[in-house]
Amino acid sequence: MAEEPKETKPGFQNPVAGFGVTFKAMFKKRLTEQYPEQQKTTAPRFHGRHQLNRHPDGLEKCIGCELCAWACPADAIYVEGADNTDEERYSPGERYGRVYQINYARCILCGLCIEACPTRALTMTNEFELADSSRANLIYTKEQLLAGLDDSMVDTPHAIYPGTDEQDYYRGLVTEAAPGTERQVAVSKGEKPDEEGVDA
């Protein structure tokens, strides 16, 4: 015959075992973090807010290839590419990202877009405070994502370093803006130059 299962002893022992866990926890050091008064230190490779990087002379690394948008599993990235011209140049290559948006209401900060980027134009910072009261404010534009300018950089658009091509940029041969480099006038963003003789 099969043995009958032994009955557990109800009563006094079960509650005491439960209270034992409680009493152990009472004397441990508290793990409460005083955030936001004390800022949390993130790991060096923490996946935070994205950043669009520049070359050392200020030209943008993004070439508008849209590979980051294709790689995004949450469909959080929107890119529109456009052609560079000698009169208006944003990147060393043929194209640049005219429109670049990341929707942080959708983004899961997985980093797949970083792996897909062929020019290391897109990286992730340690910034993690992305909450906002408006959904519209969670859509970051190119201007918000673009890295700031150093002293040796000139804001885009401007001409490439004289005597170089796009391959020299990606080999790291261009380390600063050429002497006398000036910012070009941008006219491709939907702004039409004022025509003479036209009343406003």
Choice among 3-7, 108-112, 196-200 with the minimum mean pLDDT:
196-200
Whether pLDDT at 191 is above 80: no
Q: What is the pLDDT of residues 122-141, one digit of tens each?
A: 999 999 989 899 999 999 99
DSSP secondary structure letters along the chain: -PPPPPPP--SSHHHHHHHHHHHHHHTSPP----TTTSPPPPPTT---SEEE-B-TTS-B------HHHHH-TT--EEEEEEE--SSS-SSSSSEEEEEEEEETTT-----HHHHH-TTS-EEE-S------S-SGGGEE-HHHHBPPP-TT--PSS-PPPTT--HHHHHTT---SPPTT--PPPP--SSPPPPPTT---
Whether pLDDT at 198 is above 50: no
Q: What is the pLDDT of residues 167-180, one digit of tens each?
A: 999 999 999 999 98
Residue type, 68: C
CB-facing half-sphere around the CA of 14: CA atoms within 13 A: 4
Choice among 93-97, 175-179, 192-196 with the minimum mean pLDDT:
192-196
197 strand-pairing partners? none
Taking all residues of the chain, what is their mean pLDDT, rounded to a whole number? 86
Whether pLDDT at 4 is above 90: no
Residue type, 47: H
Residue pair 117/51 in contact by the 8 Å Cβ criterion: no
The CATH number of 52-170 is which of 3.40.50.1110, 3.30.70.3270, 3.40.605.10, 3.40.50.300?
Answer: 3.30.70.3270
Task: Look at residues 167, 12, 179, 6 and name the one whose alpha carbon lies nearest to residue 94.
Answer: 167
178 strand-pairing partners? none
Whether pLDDT at 56 is above 60: yes
Angle formed at CA 81 by CA 156 and CA 137, multiple of 5 degrees: 75
Other C-beta atoms lying within 10 Å of the C-beta of residue 153: 19
Could you tell me the residue ranges of all domains in the chain? 52-170
